[in-house]
Structure 1
Amino acid sequence: MKKLILLGGLWLTCAATAFSNDGNDYWERLNRTHPEANLTSILNSKTGSKDKSVAGYRLSVKYDGKFRAISADNLLLLESQGMKKGELRAYKYEILFLSEGQELWLPMKTIMVEQLQLELQKDEPVLLYTTVLENPEQEDFRQVTLLVQDFNPEVN
């Protein structure tokens, strides 16, 4: 009987955690820490002077439906940000999005790629929650990449 009660308690805890991560609080928190921006303003921003309360940006884009293996440049950039080799294995693909007439190949965790493909069709709008990655040590070439943290297909 005790095992049954413990199992039931564990199940309720898991259900409550899943609900809280998928509820409105999750999106409200992301909206607070990821201000809405356009591609031009993100590319013109300086990471060093970034507001510490800003974790990234919300970017409204169109999903193109194409994907490719992650580029060597983006893998090196992820590694330069402190990601360990084990964490890098989660990033196998870049997804093609369109924003302001430009193509954006953005790295995304494989598990999110699969979910994105289930939820969206080609040319559908999507709201991306991104982190700006750049290597400030490269003076001759400023490489900037947006790492997709999450997405919301319900664009307002």
Structure 2
Amino acid sequence: MARLTHLGADGKADMVDVGTKAETERTAIAEGSVTMQPETLRIILDGNAKKGDVLGAARIAGIMAAKKTHDLIPLCHPLLLTKVAVDIEPDETLPGLRVTALARVTGKTGVEMEALTAASVACLTIYDMAKAVDRGMVISGIRLVEKTGGKSGDYKAKPGAAG
């Protein structure tokens, strides 16, 4: 049975020692969505939100969050990220916005947490910037979609399913 890598034999939290691991290129993609009223989506897409450019601010917030993941999530290693991208697409069927975040590093540990943090904070920023018109928005579906590189190998989530 697999064991939690951040717990020592005595059950205490422990930062994993990655010093002897090989440096490899590692990429992670995470996603999330913000469901809202159709009118809220229209206000955002038309650029009429009172706080300004919702999509631009959410992209920047997601990128900044990825760079600060080690400050936010206990036991995460600080990483020299080589790429962070946050894409936000409208989805009229939700209705709302779909967020996809990519993080990449050449290093000794993965970037899943950075991608997940970027997607989460981008979604939170969308909520914050549009809450004046729609407090009923729902953030959902935050998950790892794909990861490549590292000792554990590649992972790809099943479409539309958790895990």
Q: TM-score surpassing 0.5?
A: no
User: Higher helix proportion, which one?
Assistant: 1
User: Looking at both structures, which has the greater relative contact order when contacts are Cα pairs under 8 Å and sequence separation is at least 6?
Assistant: 2
- Give the TM-score normalised by structure 2: 0.25
- Give the TM-score normalised by structure 1: 0.25
